[in-house]
Amino acid sequence: MTVEGAGNIAQTWWDSVVRGFSETHTTAVPLPALLGILACAILLSIPRVTWRWFGLYVTFVHELGHAYAALMTGRFVHSLRIGLDHSGRLVSSGRSAFGAAWSGFWGYPAPAVVGLGLIAACAAGRSGAAMSVGAVVLLVSLIFLRNLTGILVAVLSAAVAQVLVLFAAPTTVNYVVLALGIALSVGGVRDLLKLAGVHTRRRERLAASDAFILGRTTGVPVFVWLSGFTAVIAGCAAASAWLLWGMLAV
């Protein structure tokens, strides 16, 4: 490929990104289409065969919730790792006890918050912008990533987002963003239920629970942290449902 050809591809990509921010494309979703999107989202988030792979993305969003919450309070993020078993580990440092607690809290709610953001972007006709912002966030996250699984998840997710921005019709982008938002919301609820199971039935795994770690390091009872996770996730789910209702073509 010549330098001129590479330059033309880069310019085409940049023009598509700019259009994503400057143009709006709203889509009224017919009920059959919404049911199909819901089915696709559930198929990504519920069956084990698909969750094995989509769950890696949900775990990545979970860990990014920790990472960007840490950065918000001035903490330094040293590393972020994701395992094929859906485990994740973020290492950050800072002097503020509040920063550590803030970072520790925003893991489990992150998929539901991002899911709500994607659904809201679709409702506002800003799916292209959401895809471009998401790709930038994922690529910036490469600075923190320290293992191959995490790097592959970030690069592949960013690549898919940019291919959609470049080549897909606005309605297709809207539907994909909507499906991804719903799937992340469902995945967030699934992970919350799994966490509840750790605290009720599989207590031998408590040491890896964010709520348990927060309770141990802050002195605030574990049920307070679990209630906080639940409140944010339930609130995001309710807001997402309200937005979806408003998008229905009647």
Q: What is the mean pLDDT of residues 143-165?
A: 88
Structure confidence by residue, pLDDT tens digits, 166-203: 788 888 999 999 999 999 999 999 999 999 999 988 88
Using CA atoms, how far residue 41 sits from 51, 86, 147, 182, in Å, is 11, 19, 28, 6
Determine which of 7-16, 69-78, 101-110 has the lowest per-residue pLDDT on average.
7-16
Residue 1 confidence (pLDDT) above 60: no
How far apart (Å, rounded) are the C-alpha atoms in residues 225 and 214? 7
pLDDT of 6 reads 53
Q: What is the mean pLDDT of residues 110-127?
A: 95
Which residue did the predictor score with more confidence, 199 or 7? 199
Residue 161 confidence (pLDDT) above 90: no
Q: By percentage, how much of the chain surpasses pLDDT 90?
A: 60
Residue 25 confidence (pLDDT) above 90: no
Structure confidence by residue, pLDDT tens digits, 48-61: 999 999 999 999 99
Q: Which two tokens stand for residue 39?
A: 């089915």
Identify which of 29, 114, 4, 9 has the alpha carbon closest to the alpha carbon of residue 63. Answer: 114
Residue 76 confidence (pLDDT) above 90: yes
pLDDT of 229 reads 97
pLDDT of 21 reads 72
Residue 219 confidence (pLDDT) above 80: yes
pLDDT of 230 reads 97
The full set of domain ranges for the chain reads: 38-249
Residue 220 confidence (pLDDT) above 70: yes
Determine which of 14-23, 35-44, 82-91, 157-166 has the lowest per-residue pLDDT on average.
14-23
Q: Where would I find the H helices in the chain?
A: 3-22, 31-45, 48-72, 97-105, 110-123, 127-140, 148-167, 170-200, 210-218, 222-247
Structure confidence by residue, pLDDT tens digits, 77-102: 999 999 999 999 999 998 888 999 99
Q: How confident is the model at residue 26 (pLDDT cuts 50, 70, 90)?
A: confident
Interstrand relation of 76-82 and 29-30 (parallel, antiparallel or unpaired): unpaired
Q: How confident is the model at residue 228 (pLDDT cuts 50, 70, 90)?
A: very high
Q: What is the mean pLDDT of residues 139-159?
A: 90
